[in-house]
A and B are shown apart, each in its own frame.
Chain A
Amino acid sequence: MKYLCLLHYDVAKFDTLAPADLEAIGKDCKPHDEALRRSGQVVAQGSLEHRTAMTIRPRGGKPETSDGAIAATVGAFLIIEARDLNDAVRVASLHPAARTGEHLGWAVEVRPLDACRVGGTTAALFEQPSP
């Protein structure tokens, strides 16, 4: 079964970090990133551009677009493969955001997926059976 992990952070705190702080954080994260990768349970991962977001809401049957995010705290995401929720939490706990970054407001939100298809062409996405 697949799980989506949303990695949250404090956007305002991130803005106050100096390049040296960011470099130090990168070094702190590295062994955790490697442990996570070694689990072999990461299906996909991505990091999002800081502070770039658009929101679309239906208004009178038409999409209305505005600048900015809805939650504004998501900085990265992972899709992991796990036996059950406990196993997913164990894997998510390897991520740097679960191990460090308390002062940066880091946290990992683990969400079970009913259905998930990743990769290939759009057509292939809908042809392959959902695992």
Chain B
Amino acid sequence: MKYLCLAYYDEAVFDSMSPAELEALGKECAPHDEALRRTGQLFAVASLQHRAAVTVRSRSGKISTTDGPFVESKEQVGSAFIVEARDLDDAVRVASLHPAARIGEHLGWAIEVRPIEMFDLPPPPRP
């Protein structure tokens, strides 16, 4: 079964970081990223652009587009990954290897693990 893991971070804290701090953070993350990769249970990985979001919704039957995320909160999704796991416990065990579960307490890091009910990879369109 597949699980969607959303990794959250505090955008404002990230904004305040110097290039040297970001580099140090990257080094701190590397062994955790490697441990996560070694599980062989990752199915997809994605990193989101910082502070780039558009929200689309229906308003009185018309499509309304606004800049910004759905919820204006200090915790925003910064990356996402899909884990292949036996059950929710196994998915949490794998997700707990991610840097956002181990370090970055001061950066507002956290991971939400969600079971995927239906998953589909549509075939590419025919030319």
In the assembled complex, the CB of B56 is this many whole angstroms from the nearest CB of chain A, namely 4
Residues facing B in A24-48 (CB within 8 A) are 37, 40, 42-48
A44-B44, A54-B88, A102-B59 as given contacts; A6 in contact with B103, CB under 8 Å: no
Distance in angstroms between the alpha carbons of A8 and B37 in the assembled complex: 29
Q: A115 an interface residue at 8 Å Cβ cutoff?
A: yes
Verify A101–B37 contact, CB threshold 8 A: no
Verify B46–A4 contact, CB threshold 8 A: yes
Q: A16 an interface residue at 8 Å Cβ cutoff?
A: no
Verify A123–B40 contact, CB threshold 8 A: yes
Q: How large is the interface on A (under 10, 10 to 19, 20 to 34, 35 or more residues)?
A: 35 or more
Q: B118 an interface residue at 8 Å Cβ cutoff?
A: yes
Contacts of B65 in A (CB 8 A): 89, 93
Distance in angstroms between the alpha carbons of A4 and B3 in the assembled complex: 16
Distance in angstroms between the alpha carbons of A43 and B125 in the assembled complex: 10
In the assembled complex, the CB of A45 is this many whole angstroms from the nearest CB of chain B, namely 5
Verify A119–B43 contact, CB threshold 8 A: yes
Contacts of B45 in A (CB 8 A): 115-117, 125
Contacts of A92 in B (CB 8 A): 56
Known A55-B111, A56-B113, A71-B112; 20 more pairs at CB < 8 Å: A43-B121, A46-B118, A52-B88, A52-B115, A56-B96, A56-B100, A57-B110, A58-B110, A65-B96, A71-B71, A73-B71, A89-B54, A93-B63, A98-B63, A102-B59, A109-B69, A111-B52, A111-B53, A114-B48, A122-B40
